[in-house]
């Protein structure tokens, strides 16, 4: 467990070690150069406003750098952003040092150290943000069927790469509003595994969790461009289908049931096949709000499950 955690956190900072070392060395080099050539100013000559302003900005840039390196995997875009922010930091840091150290008039290089990296930093940062934008478009494509229009990381599900019930409610309210404006139908499909608690009891929670992650991928593969999949709770998923009538939604629900029945899932421990089946119900919005629509589906789901039990004794 401990090891796993270390592995998850470690590479993010270690892979940036060299970058941080270079920045640290450059800042030190500038400082030493100033101290070698100049004299430390007497206390009454310190301009506190400048010190607070420039020092504070340099400090905040360090915070940005730290957040950037902690959150982003290494790569082209990260390097650009790092170099941009690093140049800005260096330039501001030299400004701060300048407040404490008086250089003789014949020294010219200090102006270069203060003002040179600034435009370079801005150019690098701009390039970085531009490529970040391109990267985001690529990620959005990967997030297709899992996210629509807006992102709220607090509403990510903890287990599957999907939005949770709160995200679903928000998106459903939005979709219902859109549909009403455009006078187009919108449908919702609810999918629930049969006998999922049995899997948890017999194979343990980890297997159950893994199965849910596999199922998520399986369901995603069956969706159209604009459908949105969320995890409602436990082994129950909900799908928002914009511009879709009830009959078409029912077709998709049936397809999902078939696709899950044919999924040859193997347990992680002994690799034996688990025979899976799911119940999927569909409903079209008929002027109801998100909550009543979900409730209607829940009752339909309960009825479908009862039928299942009657059929199988």
Partner 1 sequence: MAEQRSWLECDTRFIPAHYQPVTLIDLALARGVNEHRLLQGSGLFYDDILRGDKLISAQQFICLIDNARQQMQADDTSFLIGHQWLPGHYGAASHALRHAGNLLEALERLVRLQPLLSPLMTPRLRLDEHHAWLCWDDSFGASPQSVFLIEASMTAVSSLSQWLSGQKLPWSFYLSHAQPRYIEQYWVHLGERLRFGCPRNQMYLPREYLLKPWIDASATAGRVAEQEGLDMMAALPAPASVLDDLHDYLVAQIRTPLRLEQIADAFAMSPATLKRKLKKHGSHFQEQLDRARAAVAMELYLSRGYSSEDVAEYLNFSDRANFRRALRRWTGFLPSELSTWLG
CA distance 32 to 120: 23
Q: By CB under 8 A, is residue 197 in contact with partner 1?
A: yes
Question: Which region among 21-29, 90-98, 125-133, 299-307 touches partner 1 (by CB under 8 A)?
Answer: 299-307
Out of 17, 201, 266, 273, the residue judged to bind partner 1 by CB under 8 A: 201
User: Binding of partner 1 at residue 305 (CB under 8 A)?
Assistant: yes
Residue 192 engages partner 1 in binding (rule: CB under 8 A): yes
Q: Which residue has the tokens 């569909």?
A: 282
| Closest CB 297 distance from partner 1, rounded Å | 9
Angle at 132 between CA 126 and CA 135, to 5 degrees: 150
CB of 206 to partner 1, least distance (A): 6
Question: What is the Cα–Cα distance from 148 to 212, expressed in whole angstroms?
Answer: 22
Which of 205, 224, 275, 286: binder of partner 1 (CB under 8 A)?
205
Task: Work out how close the CB of 198 gets to partner 1 at its nearest, in angstroms, rounded to a whole number.
Answer: 8
Determine the interface stretch with partner 1 among 115-123, 145-153, 271-279, 296-304 (rule: CB under 8 A): 296-304
Interaction pattern, residues 146-165, with partner 1; x per rule: CB under 8 A: ------------x------x
Closer Cβ to partner 1, 219 or 232, answer by number:
232
Place of tokens 């002994």: 270
Q: d(Cα 67, Cα 258) in Å, to the nearest integer?
A: 45
| Spatial distance between the Cα atoms of 257 and 265, rounded to a whole number of angstroms | 15
For partner 1, the closer of residues 107 and 302 by Cβ is: 302
Residues 220-279 within binding reach of partner 1 (CB under 8 A): 232-236
CA distances from 234 to 205, 210, 213, 222, 230 (A): 12, 13, 12, 21, 12
Which residue lies nearer to partner 1 by CB, 113 or 191? Answer: 191
Q: By rule CB under 8 A, what count of residues binds partner 1?
A: 26
CA distance 272 to 249: 33
Question: Which one of 12-20, 66-74, 102-110, 205-213 is the stretch in contact with partner 1 (CB under 8 A)?
Answer: 205-213
Work out the burial of residue 58: count CB atoms within 10 Å of its CB; fewer than 13 is exposed, 13-18 middle, 19 or more buried: buried
Which region among 17-25, 28-36, 64-72, 196-204 touches partner 1 (by CB under 8 A)? 196-204
Query: From its phi and psi, is residue 195 left (phi > 0), alpha (psi between -120 and 50) or beta?
Result: left
CA atoms within 13 A on the CB side of 186: 25
Among 37, 57, 79, 200, binds partner 1 (CB under 8 A): 200
Would you say 54 and 46 are in contact if contact means Cβ atoms under 8 Å apart? Answer: no
Which positions touch partner 1 (CB under 8 A)? Answer: 1-2, 5, 158, 165-166, 192, 197-198, 200-201, 205-206, 209, 232-236, 294-295, 298-299, 302, 305, 309
């Amino acid at each position: 467990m401990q090891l796993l955690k270390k592995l998850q956190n470690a590479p993010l900072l270690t892979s940036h070690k060299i970058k941080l070392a270079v920045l640290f060395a450059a800042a030190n080099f500038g400082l030493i150069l100033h101290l070698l050539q100049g004299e430390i100013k007497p206390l009454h000559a310190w301009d506190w406003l400048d010190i607070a302003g420039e020092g504070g900005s340099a400090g905040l840039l360090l915070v940005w750098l730290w957040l950037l390196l902690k959150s982003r995997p290494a790569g082209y875009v990260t390097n650009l952003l790092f170099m941009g922010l690093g140049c800005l930091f260096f330039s501001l840091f030299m400004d701060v040092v300048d407040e404490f150290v008086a250089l003789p008039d014949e020294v010219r290089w200090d102006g270069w150290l203060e003002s040179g990296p600034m435009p370079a930093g801005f150019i690098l940062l701009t390039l970085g943000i531009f490529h970040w934008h391109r990267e985001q478009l690529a990620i959005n494509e990967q997030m297709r069927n899992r996210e629509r229009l807006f992102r709220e990381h607090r509403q990510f599900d903890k287990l599957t790469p999907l939005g949770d019930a709160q995200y679903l409610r928000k998106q459903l309210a939005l979709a219902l509003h859109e549909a009403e404006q455009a006078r187009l139908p919108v449908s919702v499909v609810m999918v629930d595994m049969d006998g999922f608690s049995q899997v948890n009891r017999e194979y343990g929670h980890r297997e159950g969790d893994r199965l849910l992650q596999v199922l998520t991928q399986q369901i995603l593969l069956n969706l159209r461009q604009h459908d949105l999949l969320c995890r409602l709770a436990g082994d129950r998923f909900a799908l928002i289908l914009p511009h879709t009538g009830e009959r078409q939604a029912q077709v998709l629900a049936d397809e999902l049931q078939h696709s899950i029945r044919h999924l040859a899932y193997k347990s992680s421990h002994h690799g034996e096949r688990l025979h899976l089946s799911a119940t999927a119900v569909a409903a079209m919005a008929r002027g109801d709000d998100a909550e009543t629509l979900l409730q209607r589906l829940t009752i339909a789901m309960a009825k479908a499950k009862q039928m299942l039990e009657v059929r199988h004794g």
